[in-house]
Amino acid sequence: MIRLKSEQEIELMRQAGRIVGEVHDLLEELIAPGVTTQELDRVAEAEIRRRGAEPSFLGYRGYPATLCTSPNEVIIHGIPSPRTRLKEGDILSIDVGARYKGFHGDSARTHRVGRVAEEIDQLLRVTETCLWRAIAQCQPGNRLGDVGWAVEEFAKRFGYGIVDEFVGHGVGADLHEKPDVRHKGPPDQGLRLKAGMTIAIEPMINLGTPRVRMLKDGWTTVTADGKWSAHFEHTVAVREEGWEVLTLSPRHPGRMTGGPNPELAAERGAGRAA
């Protein structure tokens, strides 16, 4: 069942989302060659708790950390480790979730570690644009297929692989709620969007094949061909007047609402990579 959120519940999600955005901004400042993903995880947990919230991921279905930290060919659910030390030219996808007064915020960014190769830089720019194109479709009366098609149509222009084994999702009092939000079309099909729906949109785009492989830890998921992957995510509320991003940050002040040009929105939104 899809649970529509009241104004009071959306306000709590907005506060949870702000915490997520603030933690992303802090982590962005720390990302540098030589830093370990475990160090980033410890900072994130302390900062989430300092703000009166709880890490959404820690202990969720047995997950052992606050962050998902996914470098290079790791698509999603990389576990922070003292052995994973960042290097110049790497990329690192960080997924942050926080639960505040019973409601979750969920957001991911892919960061550059120093200078990256041009083809990797383009992958990140395209993936973030895919996210904002999808967000722009979150209007009452549109369908989930429109959201997915906004990602698929743009990513395919570059020949990238679109991960389909993992999808976006509803979010609210539970971290994962209905509906599932695929990052493929077809347009004008699927569930019709209604005001009060809150969803996490999170395209994962691969430089090569869309196929994935899970490692023995049961969490870490990598590209089947070893090529690199990018991941951007925001929690979005469908509003009577359009849409609202709930996981913005102080570095990008103000609520992002309405339906601006999606290519330009990536320059204004909280998901801009380091």
Determine the pLDDT at residue 137: 97
* Alpha-carbon gap, residue 159 to 61, rounded angstroms: 34
Determine the pLDDT at residue 110: 97
pTM more than 0.95? no
Determine the pLDDT at residue 263: 46
pLDDT in tens, the chain (274 residues): 899 999 999 999 999 999 999 999 999 999 999 999 999 999 999 999 999 999 999 999 999 999 999 999 999 999 999 999 999 999 999 999 999 999 999 999 999 999 999 999 999 999 999 999 999 999 999 999 999 999 999 999 999 999 999 999 999 999 999 999 999 999 999 999 999 999 999 999 999 999 999 999 999 999 999 999 999 999 999 999 999 999 998 776 544 555 434 444 443 333 322 2
Tens of pLDDT, residue by residue over 9-68, are 999 999 999 999 999 999 999 999 999 999 999 999 999 999 999 999 999 999 999 999
Determine the pLDDT at residue 34: 98
Give the sign of the dihedral formed by CA 195, CA 19, CA 253, CA 180: negative
Contacts by residues 252-258 (CB-CB < 8 Å, ≥ 24 positions apart): 252/21, 255/14
Determine the pLDDT at residue 249: 86
Q: In the CATH scheme, what is the code of domain 7-268?
A: 3.90.230.10
* Alpha-carbon gap, residue 91 to 71, rounded angstroms: 6
Q: Where are the alpha helices (DSSP H) in the chain?
A: 7-30, 37-50, 118-135, 144-156, 262-268
Determine the pLDDT at residue 258: 59
- Note whether 119 and 249 are within 8 A (CB): no
Write out the DSSP string of 23-91.
HHHHHHHH--TT-BHHHHHHHHHHHHHHTT-EESSTTGGG--SS-EEEETTEEE-PPP-TT-B--TT-E
Local structure of residue 6 (DSSP, 8 states): P
- The backbone torsions φ and ψ at residue 149, rounded to the nearest 5 degrees and listed phi first, read -65, -35
Q: Which residue has the tokens 């090569």?
A: 208
Q: Which residue has the tokens 């720390």?
A: 30
Determine the pLDDT at residue 60: 98
